Amino acid sequence: MARLVAASAMCVVLAGCWWEFGVSQQQAIELALRGAPEDAQVMTVERAELGMIVDANLLPNEPRDRVVWLVGLTGTFGGECVVDARGDSVCAMAAESQLVVLDAQTGELLYTESPAP
């Protein structure tokens, strides 16, 4: 998670002024839960905090100063399945956590990662 956010002090400062953004913490949680994969069994919301994208490799087309909601979910999230070169379906192992990154102004889903970093 540290790869995605600036210093935690920035999160504290931003969390104190969430009303300047279009999406509240509760709305961000609801959006993250609604966006969970259909086969996911979400048990809890581990965290929901404001931050800024700082890892250019993860979201290369997003501005580094874009304010985002980081929502950490725990539960069971099925692994993604792909078809390999032989035509066989190969599925990753299920994860127990997921990180959901949403634009703080619009609620747009920007990124998910399972398991959460």
Domain presence at residue 77:
yes
Q: Please choose, from the candidates 113, 109, 81, the residue with its C-alpha nearest in 3D space to the C-alpha of residue 96.
A: 113
Q: Is residue 3 part of a domain?
A: no
Decide if pLDDT at 62 tops 90.
no
Q: Is the dihedral of CA 115, 107, 55, 16 positive or negative?
A: negative
pLDDT reported for residue 81: 73
Decide which of 46 and 87 is more confident. Answer: 46
Each residue's pLDDT tens digit, 15-42? 444 446 699 999 999 999 998 877 788 8
Q: What is the pTM of this model?
A: 0.72
pLDDT of residue 87: 81
CATH of the domain at 51: 3.10.450
Whether residue 2 lies inside any domain: the answer is: no
Burial class (CB in 10 A: 0-12, 13-18, 19+), 5: buried
Let me know if residue 88 belongs to a domain.
yes
> Distances from the Cα of 62 to the Cαs of 86, 90, 100, in angstroms?
35, 31, 15
Average pLDDT rounded to a whole number, residues 44-54: 89
Give domain status of residue 60, yes or no: yes
Domains contained in the chain, number: 1
Q: Is 61 domain-assigned?
A: yes
Domain-embedded: residue 97: yes
Three-state SS sequence of 5-70: CCCHHHHHHHHCCHHHCCCCHHHHHHHHHHCCCCCCEEEEEEEEEEEECCCCCCCCCCCCCCEEEE
Domain range spanning residue 79? 8-113
